[in-house]
Amino acid sequence: MSLIPPHHDRRWFLQSLTVGIAALSAPGAFAQQLAETATTTEGPFYPDKLPLDTDNDLLILNDAITPAVGSITLLTGRVLSPSGQPIRNAFVEIWQTDSTGSYVHTAGRQPTGHDRNFQGYGRFLTDAQGRYYFRTIKPVSYTLHGTFRTAHIHFGISRSGRRVFTSQMLVEGEPGNARDGLVRRLSPDALKTLLVPFTPMPASRLGELAANFDVVLGRTAAEDDAGQLRGVAAPLSRRGG
């Protein structure tokens, strides 16, 4: 498992990500209609109580100096319309288990304990190019309440206070994918839109990984602010899990 230096500069994180994915905003990158990203169920473990720290760095809680345990991952991507147009000011939420397989949700923790230094939930408002950025850990497979789940990160995207997209990003090549019930129910085409490779970052002294997950919203969600797939997610208030 990787650890972050105690005095890691979080501003450096955002600056490096901005430079690293600038090429994604090049004109003409999307000449054809894009495949819509598959939606899945939200699952039962959306936080029942949001952590005090809800920024896009899930590895450091507030001003703590002890980082979460896990393989450090820089998770980036864009929120796009089917025609490849960036979706600005999309409210992106992610939530996932820590390295022990425990969620922030009080009913989603392992009986053997959990990582108290992992934020478990983060959110970000996309920029003019539809980009979002998170620093987190590579997700792990786990068994909770007798149910096995392969490694995944939950995504929720809202526009104008309305949830328009809910899904689960999967790790490409993860052995647990083959035995996961949700994955087995997906069609091959749908599964392809959710699988993301986690690749080592060149010259990283911390063994950091990079993952890029572009979300292509359905036409209603992307082009109609009244579009709603599941629930309502108000950016600054808690919504039930």
Residue 4 counted as domain residue = no
pLDDT recorded at residue 223: 58
Q: Which residues fall within 8 angstroms of residue 132, CB to CB, at 6 or more apart?
A: 56, 76, 77, 78, 79, 90, 92, 124, 126
pLDDT recorded at residue 40: 97
Q: Give the pLDDT confidence of 192-230 residue by residue, as tens digits.
A: 999 999 999 998 888 999 999 999 998 777 754 333 333
pLDDT at 13 over 70: no
- Mean pLDDT, to the nearest integer, of 19-37? 58
pLDDT at 235 over 50: no
Calculate the alpha carbon distances from 97 to 94, 103, 143, 159 in Å.
11, 4, 11, 25
**In which band, very low, low, confident or very high, does the pLDDT at 2 lie, cut at 50, 70 and 90?**
very low
**CATH (domain of 164):** 2.60.130.10
Name the percent of the chain lying above pLDDT 90. 71
Residue 78 counted as domain residue = yes
pLDDT at 86 over 50: yes
Q: Which of 129, 97, 109, 119 is nearest to 17 (CA)?
A: 129
Residue with tokens 């063994």: 207
- Mean pLDDT, to the nearest integer, of 155-166? 96
CA atoms within 13 A on the CB side of 202: 1
pLDDT at 139 over 50: yes
Residue 182 · residue 46 · CB < 8 Å: no
Domains: count for the chain: 1
**In which band, very low, low, confident or very high, does the pLDDT at 64 lie, cut at 50, 70 and 90?**
confident
Residue 117 counted as domain residue = yes
pLDDT recorded at residue 167: 98
pLDDT at 87 over 80: yes
pLDDT recorded at residue 205: 86
- Mean pLDDT, to the nearest integer, of 94-119? 97
Name the percent of the chain lying above pLDDT 70. 78
pLDDT at 53 over 80: yes
Domain of 132? 10-16+32-223
Residue 97 · residue 120 · CB < 8 Å: yes
Checking phi first, is residue 125 left (phi over 0); if not, alpha (psi -120 to 50) or beta? beta
- Mean pLDDT, to the nearest integer, of 46-55? 94
Residue 239 counted as domain residue = no
Residue 174 counted as domain residue = yes
Residue 236 counted as domain residue = no
Q: What is the mean pLDDT of the chain?
A: 84
pLDDT at 92 over 50: yes
pLDDT at 109 over 80: yes
In the three-class reduction of DSSP (H, G, I as helix; E, B as strand; rest coil), residue 176 is classed as: helix
Residue 97 counted as domain residue = yes
Residue 230 counted as domain residue = no
- Mean pLDDT, to the nearest integer, of 164-175? 98
